[in-house]
Structure 1
Amino acid sequence: MIFSRRRADAGRRGRDEQATEPSAGQDATGSTPARGPYDVSEAPAGVQRLDLGSLHIPAVPDVEVRVQADPQGVVQQVVLVHGGNALQLGVFAAPRSEGIWDEVRDEIRQSLVADGATAQETPGEYGTELRARVRTQDGVTDLRFLGVDGPRWMVRGVFQGAAAVDPAAAGPLDECLGGLVVDRGQEAKPVREPLPLRLPREMTDQQSGAAAADDGPRRA
C-alpha cells in the first residue's frame, strides 16, 4: 500500500549540545529554535503538518509526501519528493545522555565501503554528513546521509538527486527538514529502534469508509 500526497498548501545546529541548553523548547537565548527538526515540546505553533505519528511533516508547496505501509497500516518508508530530488526520512530512539549519529554514520560508511561504494564524510549544516556514490541497476547514484540528534531521538535523512551533491539544490526539501517535528512519546524503547509511524488519519478514514461500503447490503 502506498499513500502519496502532494503538499500544495501553504539549520538548526546538531544537537550534541542539547544537555547544555537552558530548557526543552528553548535555545541558548531562551527562545524557540529558529530551525528544526524540533522536538514536539519545542515545535512552533500555527504550522500545518501531516501527522504520521512520531513524525509530523510540514506542508511545503510542491513537495509530495510518499508513504509506503503494510496492510495493517504500519508505515515502512517515508519519502519526500520535489522535482528530481528526494529525501527519505527515518526516526529512531536514542539514549537520554548522548546522541547516536556519529556511531550510526560510521556503521553506514563501513557498510557502503564493504559493498564497493565510495563514501566520504563532509561538514554540513547539522554536523558531519556522509556522501556516497553507489552502483544500482539504473547506474551510479549519489546519496547524502545526515543525522540530527534530539532529546531521546535521532532523525536520519538521505538525499538523492542533485541535492545529494549540492545542498543548495535541496530547496523545499530542506525546508521540510527544517520544519520537521518529532513526537518521541514517553515509552521506554531500545536504542536505535524505529519510532512508530502510522498512516495519516485522512487515509485511514478513507480506507474505513471504503471497507464499510464494500460490506454494505447489496441488491441483486
Structure 2
Amino acid sequence: MFRRRRRDETAETAPAAAEDATPEPARESGPWDSEESYPDIDRVDLGGMLLPVGPGFEVQLNVAGDQLVGAVVLVGESALQVHAFAAPKRSGIWDEVRAELAREVTGAGGSCEEREGPFGAELAAEVEQDGGLAPVRFIGVDGPRWFLRGVISGRAVTDAEIAGTLEDVVRDIVVVRGDQPMAPKEPIELRLPTEARQAVEQQASQQGRNGLNPFERGPEITETR
C-alpha cells in the first residue's frame, strides 16, 4: 500500500502536462519526499520528518534552543542520528557539507576518510569522545529542496548486520519540507507527536511547572513489542 499526496490539475492543463513532462523512473527506496509515493509502514510523525520505528527501537529527540531539530534512533549498542535541512531547489549540498565535516573532524583531532556507501559518498571518521577516539559514519542524502544527514555510531559501525538495520531506517524516512521559504542548511523543525506532548504537559503539570519544557533529558519514544 502506498500513500500519495494528490495534486490538483484541470482537464484543460492535464493533457499538455502529460505531453511535456518526462516521467521520472520510480525509486525503489528512500529516504522519501512527502510528495512522493512511499511505502505505508509504522512511522512516528515528527512534523518535518516521518521516522520509521520497529521492535526494540528507542527514539530520542535533539534540541537546539527551544526547537526540535533532529532525532536519534537507538538499537541495542548502536545509534543513528538524523537531521533534515533545507537545500536549494536545483542543487544538492552534501558535497559541501561533507567537506565541512571533514575539516571539523580533523581540526578537532580526529581522522576522516571518504568512502562509497549504500547512499553514495560517505565519511568514515574517528571523532573524539570521552577522552578517546570513537568510529562513526557520516551519511548524506540530497532530496528535493532538502538534505538529510545521518550519523551512525556504536556497534553498527563495524557490524554489517546492525548497520543494515539502521540503513533501512534511513531508507524509510519521509522528509516533510513544506512550502515555506528557508535558507539553505536551515534545520527543518520537528515537533513532538501528540501523545508525547500530552504526556510531557501532564508531567509538567504534576510537578507544578509552568509551560512546556520537555528537554531536560530529551523526549523519548520507545517501541516495544
TM-score range, shorter chain: 0.7 to 0.9
Residue 78 (structure 1) aligned to one of 40, 48, 71: 71
Amino acid in structure 1 at the alignment position of 2:55: P
Residue 128 (structure 2) aligned to one of 128, 135, 140: 135
Distance 1:107 1:82, change over 3 A: same
Residue number in structure 1 paired with 2:57 = 63
Residue 149 (structure 1) aligned to one of 142, 149, 162: 142
Distance 1:208 1:146, change over 3 A: same
Alignment partners' CA distance in 1, 2:156 and 2:79: 8
Distance 1:68 1:104, change over 3 A: closer
Indicate if the aligned counterparts of 1:94 and 1:191 stay in contact, CA closer than 8 A: yes
Indicate if the aligned counterparts of 1:93 and 1:189 stay in contact, CA closer than 8 A: yes
Residue 47 (structure 1) aligned to one of 28, 41, 48: 41
1:163 aligns with 2:156: yes
Larger mean Cα displacement after TM superposition, 149-158 or 76-85: 76-85
* TM-score, normalised by the number of residues in structure 2: 0.75
User: Which runs of 5 or more structure 1 residues have no equivalent in the other structure?
Assistant: 1-20, 216-220
1:172 aligns with 2:165: yes
Q: How many residues end up aligned between the 2 structures?
A: 188
Alignment partners' CA distance in 2, 1:197 and 1:64: 17
Q: 1:178 Cα deviation (Å)?
A: 1.0
Alignment partners' CA distance in 2, 1:147 and 1:70: 20
Identity %: 36
Larger mean Cα displacement after TM superposition, 193-202 or 95-104: 193-202
Alignment partners' CA distance in 2, 1:212 and 1:66: 22
Indicate if the aligned counterparts of 1:144 and 1:165 stay in contact, CA closer than 8 A: no
Alignment partners' CA distance in 2, 1:101 and 1:70: 21
1:101 aligns with 2:94: yes
Corresponding residue SS for 1:87: strand
Corresponding residue SS for 1:163: helix
Distance 1:70 1:143, change over 3 A: closer
Question: Superposition RMSD on alpha carbons, in Å?
Answer: 2.3
Corresponding residue SS for 1:120: strand
Larger mean Cα displacement after TM superposition, 44-53 or 163-172: 163-172
Indicate if the aligned counterparts of 2:111 and 2:127 stay in contact, CA closer than 8 A: yes
* TM-score, normalised by the number of residues in structure 1: 0.77
Q: 1:207 Cα deviation (Å)?
A: 3.0
1:90 aligns with 2:80: no
Alignment partners' CA distance in 1, 2:156 and 2:34: 27
Alignment partners' CA distance in 1, 2:127 and 2:64: 28
